[in-house]
Amino acid sequence: MAEFPLEISPMFEGERIRKNDMYVELAGPKSKGFELVRATDSDEIEDGKFTLIGPDISEMEEGSRYPFAMLYKIGGELVEPDLEAIVERRNHDFYNYMQGVMHLNQRYDIWVRLSKDAVNKGLNSFEQMAAAMMSLFKNELSFIEKIEAVYITDPEEIDKELENAMEIYKERDERTANLHEEDVDTFYGCTLCQSFAPSNVCVITPDRIALCGAINWFDGRAAAKVDPEGPQFPIEKGEVIDEVGGEYSGVNEAAKSLSGGEFDRIKLHSFFEYPHTSCGCFEVVGFYIPEVDGIGWVDRDFTGNAPNGLPFSTMAGQTGGGKQVVGFLGIGINYFRSPKFLQADGGWDRVVWMPSHLKEKVVDYIPEDVVNKIPTEQDVGDISELETYLKETEHPVIERWSEEEEEETEAEEEQSGQPESAPSQYMTQMPASMPSAPSWTPSASSGGVKVTLKNAKVSIDRIIVKNKE
């Protein structure tokens, strides 16, 4: 078996290969691919065997792009189907151990780049990479006794195998449908993404899949059992602090520890108040649209702009890094299927836009009374059209507009009865935990001009009020 020609070490995790340094791009947002691990009877595995279907690295031109799939068969006395997703997710981990190789995302969203420097130093075959990976899997995960790898770069073969892989992913995701947070005492955490997002706190519960979409509660439990020192580990749920928001004392303690003290509160089912951190491997980004007081969602497969004028890539850059970002939230697609989906903020009644293909994936889980009221890129193209569509379909979110208008009117009436020297009154136009949007009404002597700041973050060290002489 060919040897990998460069160094292999965790020190290379987080290495980024930019376009100018790239020799070839595999899968990614402009192509297709996937990674899949299957638990297999050991008698059916030829340990260390590698098969390539399609062109090898040496046959690829510099700057080119190819589809790419990785399939692994694993066997051993302790190997069981529950471990497939865990081993599959470690593919991301171990790929980034290889110098000159960048691996992002998971499942059908993988994105791999090989650097020019690596190829110049002798990386000319996928067999070299597969050999390194199989060795890492067996050395790092002792329950794997035998392993076999198949890599595919042929487009037609990938299309055929991808269909099968999608069915397997679907079956895994459906396993937690009848299990909920109130049924268990233990959640699970994952630190796989901390090489890219050091303060990320990934919490996996029966009602909330990992942000990458690759690890559910059963997967976390299986991983923690067979690899107690690994990146998946138990988190005691602790006391319920906010049942609707999904805040638990055990999760808060874990958040403080895992983030190095940067965060000490997380509400698993809230978009606005102490939201779950977002790493960068998330499948979908949620974004607040203050003009309609609703939440839109966009995934990696959508290549256009959302109604706010931004593409997925821009919002992903704003969202990731392991932060609690006001107005943005990364999630795994399967969270849309959770009965606790953003229940602290109205759930599906607060969703006002998503791409058509994403909506189609989860349409069976959208309540009947709102499913036809959530527009896609086929219905609206900007904020103005979105607002019109929501009004015409009587989307539940418009009820919030009436409530806000009433609050604004009451605030203005209170202000009108105060003397000119009274301090300005602040009225929140956005959810309470979002940055306050002040509404300031000058005195009558200023001409009656009203200034309303929406979606604004204002920082004031001090205010000095003096009588005009």
Pick out the residues of the known binding site for [Ni-Fe-S] cluster: 190, 193, 279, 281
Helix, strand, or coil here: 312?
helix
CA distances from 132 to 6, 94, 424 (A): 11, 9, 65
Instruction: Please classify residue 40 by burial: count the beta carbons closer than 10 Å to its beta carbon, then call 0-12 exposed, 13-18 middle and 19+ buried.
Output: middle
* Dihedral-angle region of residue 65 (phi above 0 means left; psi in -120 to 50 means alpha; beta otherwise): beta
CA dihedral 420, 421, 423, 429 (to 10 degrees): 20
Separation between Cα atoms, residue 3 and residue 127, nearest integer Å: 8
Q: Can you tell me which residue has the tokens 């595919």?
A: 152
Cβ neighbour number for residue 64 with a 10 Å cutoff: 13
The two structure tokens encoding residue 351: 């969703």
CA distances from 450 to 5, 132, 442, 443, 455 (A): 67, 66, 7, 10, 17
Q: Are strands 247-248 and 240-242 parallel, antiparallel or unpaired?
A: antiparallel
Give the annotated binding-site residues. 190, 193, 279, 281
The two structure tokens encoding residue 464: 């000095």
Count how many Cα atoms sit within 13 Å of the Cα of residue 192 in the half-sphere of its side chain.
Answer: 31
Count how many Cα atoms sit within 13 Å of the Cα of residue 333 in the half-sphere of its side chain.
Answer: 24
